[in-house]
Amino acid sequence: MADAECGWSDQYSEMISRNIGLLTLEQQERLRSSKAAVLGVGGLGGTIFEVLVRSGVGRFAIVDRDAFDPTNMNRQIFANRQTLGKRKIDVAAEWARAVNTDVELGAFDRVGEDNIDDILQGADVAILAIDSLAPCVIASRKCRQLGIPLVEGWALPYENVRVYTRDTPTLEESYGLPTQGRQIADIPDEEFRTIQTALLLGLGKIEGVRDFYPDAAIQKIRQGHITSFAPMVWLTAVLMATEAIKVLLNWGRLALAPDFALYDPFQHRIPRVSGLLRFTHGAGI
């Protein structure tokens, strides 16, 4: 199979030329013809999106409700003085077309039960990079229904990733969420926020996590203010993007739920987890 036989444009062939050797032409064509739904293009999602675009994935749905603000500049790859105040999906889309003029993408400003089918239409993989729990539950349920593999990770404190498929527990089962079996419309926003805070605090079950956070930081987390640091965010984002590529290429061994693939770069170790990271009132850090 030669480049010409793939029907690639000259710019696409040039862009991915150094991929070939690690990837075959057939694998590269599979990436070019695949669609990834990147739910959130801020800290995690922006870097995931960049890696997938530069890897040659050809079709996307991207989602984000926010515009860039100054606090994003410590970690978000598309945040700079020129993009402040601009919608993240608009900036990401413009950047992607400047890298790959052939890229196809649809942009959405939210995830809801009324538009999740449109977001996921034709998707081969979905990646969760949203701060709010309700959209994550909506997306995870629909991915399960449609048989779309879903990649998840946390931006703190260690690099981590896991993948949900029809053969794994669901996201709600893995975390033991009290949302199971309930209609999204019947769950108050305040309950979603309470559950999300408890999940964040539950990260304290991972070996060494508590040592990173002084009491003042823990109190901020309880109030919904999340600390975030570029090295942790970007390393996790690259793991998530790699896992998405593995899904698209049916390549290697996936980090399947309910287990997390975890790495502590500060102590160069695989941390232990004291039980599964499950929702528990009052537990955690």
pLDDT value at 250 more than 90 = yes
Q: pLDDT tens, 192-228? A: 999 988 888 887 788 888 888 888 877 877 776 778 8
> What's the number of CA atoms in the CB half-sphere (13 Å) around residue 256?
8
| Confidence check: pLDDT of 285 > 80 | no
Q: Where are the domains of the chain?
A: 34-178+229-263
Mean pLDDT calculated for residue range 142-151: 98
Summarize pLDDT for 120-143 with one digit per residue, the tens: 999 999 999 998 999 999 999 999
Per-residue pLDDT for 276 more than 60? no
pLDDT at 283: 45
**Residue 280 predicted with pLDDT over 60:** no
The 3-class secondary structure across the chain, one letter per residue, is: CCHHHHCCCHHHHHHCHHHECCECHHHHHHHHHCEEEEECCCHHHHHHHHHHHHHCCCEEEEECCCECCHHHHHCCCCCCCCCCCCEHHHHHHHHHHHHCCCCEEEEECCCCCCCHHHHHCCCCEEEECCCCHHHHHHHHHHHHHHCCCEEECCCCCCEEEEEECCCCCCHHHHHCCCCCCCCHHHCCHHHHHHHHHHHHHHHHHECCHHHHCCHHHHHHHHCCCCCCCHHHHHHHHHHHHHHHHHHHHCCCCCCECCCCEEEECCCCECCCECCCCCCCCCCCC
Calculate the average pLDDT of the chain: 92
List CB contacts of 259: < 8 A, sequence separation 6 or more. 162
Residue 284 binned pLDDT confidence (cut-offs 50, 70, 90): very low
**Would you tell me which CATH number, out of the four given (3.40.50.12780, 3.90.1150.10, 3.40.50.720, 3.40.50.1220), belongs to the domain 34-178+229-263?**
3.40.50.720
pLDDT digits (tens, 9 = 90+) for 22-49: 999 999 999 999 999 999 999 999 999 9
Q: What is the pTM of this model?
A: 0.94
The pLDDT-based confidence of 272 (bands split at 50, 70, 90) is confident
pLDDT of residue 209: 84
Q: What's the pLDDT score for residue 218?
A: 77
